[in-house]
Chains A and B, each alone.
Chain A
Amino acid sequence: MPGSVTRIPTVVIGAGHAGLAVSHLLTERAVDHVVLERGEVANTWRNERWDSLRLLTPNWQTNLPGFGYAGDDPDGFMTMPEVVEFIDKYARHIDAPVETSTTVESVRQNGDRYLVSSNGRTWDAAAVVIASGGFNRPKIPTVGADLPAGITSVSAFDYKRPSDLPDGGVLVVGASATGIQIAEEVHQSGRPVTLSVGEHVRMPRTYRGRDIQFWLDAIGRLDERYDEVDDLVRARHIPSPQLVGTPDRRTLDLNTLTSQGVRLVGRLSAVTDGTAFFSGSLRNVCALADLKLIRLLDMIDEWIVGSHEGLVDEPERYADTVVDDNPVLSLDLDDGSISTVLWATGYVPDYSWLDIPVLDRKGEIRHDGGVVTDSPGLYRIGLTFLRRRKSSFIHGAEDDAIDLTGHLAGYLGDQ
């Protein structure tokens, strides 16, 4: 074994909000550990997001174990530099044992222990917590390989600002939070946007005078547990709601975009001989989202009866999504009307360094609420609906970290 070997009870991989929350709770339990970070604290937030992005959750909701927002704008939304500052402060506040610029190259089993290697150094640990994020690489559909040579192809992962894109039309693929935000600013930059819309989740920013996150929390939606939902696979793959965090707390939905001149088309289903083909299902995916929104607002209204009645604004319903009677079904990508295809089709975690056979056929890690049952002592945190619907949010890290560090401490105690 090359280089030095450090024997330690636990290694945490990743010093983002989830890894640091775990670190704090391990420290409280007196579990000795190290947090290995490929770059700097909050690296993803620093380097792998676009300029205008703000959190989708309001400041009052943005908290980590033993640490909350202390500024004077509880209803605001943090910019990326503010998120980095918040997480940085947290790392110092909890005095986390972080090793920065330490990219993990491999994690492998050694008997009932784990060997974690980085740049000639090795940690020999009884337990490993993977907190390396769920959004490490862009997920680009296979049709992306069929684009004609003249088209610039860029993912939301690499996108920073509209002015980096060539002049001309932009086909934004994907209409969740990422897609609609980027579609709006690119369209406003004078690059006409066509937005390819698949299944999506529609939500107003505020409802009856409160942030939608307030109501999702109040009705218990955010605390729904992974072992209580009836279709966990689906719950883990629901796209992020169409929300944007702005100082004026405005709603950004498909109707906002079409009123600005953005053209909606169906899900991109094929690119053949320079022509992009869009699904004829646009009307239905919009109808599904409109119906689900009504169901959500009904639930909120029901909850308000008897608790906040008279204290909040009156109920409201929103216009159905406007869909053209004959939406465009194909686009010639060679006629010059489209210069760029921008993929806002999601992200996937990177496990290329994980030399333990715990991935399923889709490349996702097999786990039971973050406990990797096929490999005792291995844990995962920071994935969509890991243990609760709020798991992927910053404020979702605390409850998951409490559960998982509790399990981990029990596991170490049994060793």
Chain B
Amino acid sequence: MTATQEKSANNGVNVEHLIGARDALSGAPEGAQFTWRATNKWVHGTHSESKVEEFFGLGDNQTHRTTFEFSADHPEVFAAEDNGATPVEFVLVGLASCLTAGVASVAQNRGIQLNSVTATIEGDMDILGILGADPEVRNGFNTIRVNYEIDAEATDQEIEAIVAQSQKRSAVFDIITNPTNVAVSVNA
């Protein structure tokens, strides 16, 4: 249907494997049920450390190649020690990395060679919400802006289409733009 498939590109994304997985999992949808996991431990003040190691998918527990660790804290203007990125910044990181992974995958699938992709991402927040100073103000972001600079062997329009398609298929974009049921429990 599209002529672009005849082009060759190498963005390092194994699209054949992903398409194979899509076909296989359509016939065995139980294997598509994944559970992603992280653990988090309070250190001191607003500083905590998180680990990401295991997840569940394809019917079994899976382990990352290595354990990833993240420190989160709040900046000094919040009278905190700034031992790590602010949790809301992790959300921005999550969105940007998800969209960029999508850009690479979609470009690969369309046979478009990427030379460079950079994104800047901003989230606007009125902190009167989290401070409890104004019940009319929400805690979270009012608006998130993502701006991509992409150099690729493609027309501007093709590049715009890749970024649009990436948003359409992005898990984090969906998580941020749609409500999600969250259950927090406590083992006292």
What residues of chain A have their CB less than 8 Å away from a CB belonging to chain B?
Answer: 199, 224, 228-230, 233, 266-267, 269-270, 272, 277, 279-281, 284-285, 287-288, 291-292, 294-295, 326, 361
Q: A266's closest neighbor in chain B, by CB?
A: B177
Task: Report the tally of A-B residue pairs with Cβ distances under 8 A.
Answer: 51
Given pairs A233-B26, A281-B168, A284-B167, 13 additional interface contacts (CB within 8 A): A229-B1, A279-B177, A281-B178, A284-B168, A284-B173, A287-B164, A288-B161, A288-B168, A291-B157, A291-B161, A294-B157, A326-B143, A361-B29
Inter-chain contacts of A272 with B (CB < 8 A): 179
Expressed in whole angstroms, the Cα–Cα distance for A294 and B156 within the complex equals: 12
Interchain Cβ contacts under 8 Å between A and B, 14 examples: A199-B168, A229-B1, A230-B2, A233-B26, A269-B177, A269-B179, A270-B178, A272-B179, A279-B177, A279-B178, A281-B177, A284-B164, A291-B160, A294-B157
Partner of A224, one of B1, B164, B173, B176: B1
Q: B166's closest neighbor in chain A, by CB?
A: A284
- Report B147 CB to chain A, min CB distance, Å: 13
| Chain B window 87-119, contacts with chain A (Cβ cutoff 8 Å), 1 for yes, 0 for no | 000000000000000000000000000000000
Q: How many residues of B contact A (CB 8 A)?
A: 20
What residues of chain B have their CB less than 8 Å away from a CB belonging to chain A?
Answer: 1-2, 5, 26, 29, 142-143, 157, 160-161, 164-165, 167-168, 173-174, 176-179
Expressed in whole angstroms, the Cα–Cα distance for A198 and B151 within the complex equals: 30
Expressed in whole angstroms, the Cα–Cα distance for A224 and B1 within the complex equals: 8
Expressed in whole angstroms, the Cα–Cα distance for A292 and B165 within the complex equals: 11
Inter-chain contacts of B2 with A (CB < 8 A): 230
Expressed in whole angstroms, the Cα–Cα distance for A379 and B176 within the complex equals: 44
Q: B178's closest neighbor in chain A, by CB?
A: A269
Q: A291's closest neighbor in chain B, by CB?
A: B161
- Would you call B179 and A281 a contact (CB within 8 A)? no
Q: A288's closest neighbor in chain B, by CB?
A: B164
- Would you call A230 and B179 a contact (CB within 8 A)? no
Q: A231's closest neighbor in chain B, by CB?
A: B1
Expressed in whole angstroms, the Cα–Cα distance for A198 and B142 within the complex equals: 21
- Would you call A281 and B173 a contact (CB within 8 A)? yes
Inter-chain contacts of A266 with B (CB < 8 A): 177
